Amino acid sequence: MIKNFLVYVLSDSVGDTAEQVARASAEQYKDSDYEIKKYPYVESKTKIDSIIESLNSENSIFVYTIVNKEISEYLRQKCEEKKVPYIDVMAPCLNTFTDFLGQEPVRESGVIRKLDEDYFKRVEAVEFAVKYDDGKDPRGILKADIVLIGVSRSSKTPLSMYLAHKNYKVVNIPLVKGSKVPDELFEVPRRKIIGLMIDPSDLIEIRRERIRVLGLDNSVDYVSIEKIYEELEYAEKIMRKVGCPVIDMTKKAVEEAANLVIDIINDLN
């Protein structure tokens, strides 16, 4: 019975999957001690030769996740030449998936890492949108990928959140007549700013529904058609001053508006 052994963990990515499998397996043998030597980003035969040459114990086993077929096959051959036991963690899964799906895998390394990176970027973007929603902190304007400006209830917040799920860091700034426009708005490139306008009759209906939900008096200036016209005129004036593109949000779904924003931003950058 082997009391001490080395586990060589190799991967053409970071190697977390191979390490977890190796550790979970090795832990099942309580009468033996083990050490893991991890080699991430093994992407060449030269690297494999170097690792094989460094073997300093007969009590070694290789566990690897290498999706590149040529490199994986080369490692297998080297292990067999050295009479070192090996486990190709990916092979059974890929073979079964290939038979099941009737297609060959792309054999691209680091796919999970890329997905994880994408996920964390999305989380960061959503947190950013929440932190800087509705002009809470104008300093966010200077850090944003996209700055949305418009009157209250012109879909700034839902559009910000939707774009955040597309990995864009978005700030939205309400344009309120009588309130100072943040200086930062005039410090960022115009290509980052998008104005949102909406038909007055639609806006008043949206605001009346909002008032009803909040249980407030329907006679407040917030739903006054005269005040709404004044707000929209003021917002249009600011947008002209900024020189930004403007999207008409009347009857537009958030998804449709988001696609327009992305198209505009991509065209201008």
Tell me which residue of 161, 179, 178 sits closest to 170, measured CA to CA.
161
Tell me which residue of 159, 136, 146 sits closest to 189, measured CA to CA.
146
Known binding residue 98? Answer is: no
**Using CA atoms, how far apart are residues 269 and 139, in angstroms rounded to an integer?**
22
Known binding residue 154? Answer is: yes
Known binding residue 151? Answer is: yes
Is residue 246 classed as helix, strand or coil in its secondary structure? strand
Known binding residue 96? Answer is: no
**Using CA atoms, how far apart are residues 136 and 261, in angstroms rounded to an integer?**
22
**Using CA atoms, how far apart are residues 128 and 104, in angstroms rounded to an integer?**
40
116-137 core/surface letters (b: 16 or more CB in 10 A; e: else) = eeeeeeeeebbebbeebbebee
Residues 47, 48, 50, 56, CA torsion sign = positive
CA 44, chain centre distance (Å)? 30
Known binding residue 156? Answer is: yes
Residue pair 18/64 in contact by the 8 Å Cβ criterion: yes
**Using CA atoms, how far apart are residues 218 and 23, in angstroms rounded to an integer?**
65
Known binding residue 109? Answer is: no
Is residue 196 classed as helix, strand or coil in its secondary structure? strand
The secondary structure of 38-105 as a DSSP string is EE----SHHHHHHHHHT---SSEEEEEE---HHHHHHHHHHHHHTT--EEESHHHHHHHHHHHHTS--
- Residue positions forming the annotated binding site for ADP: 150-157
- Residue positions forming the annotated binding site: 150-157
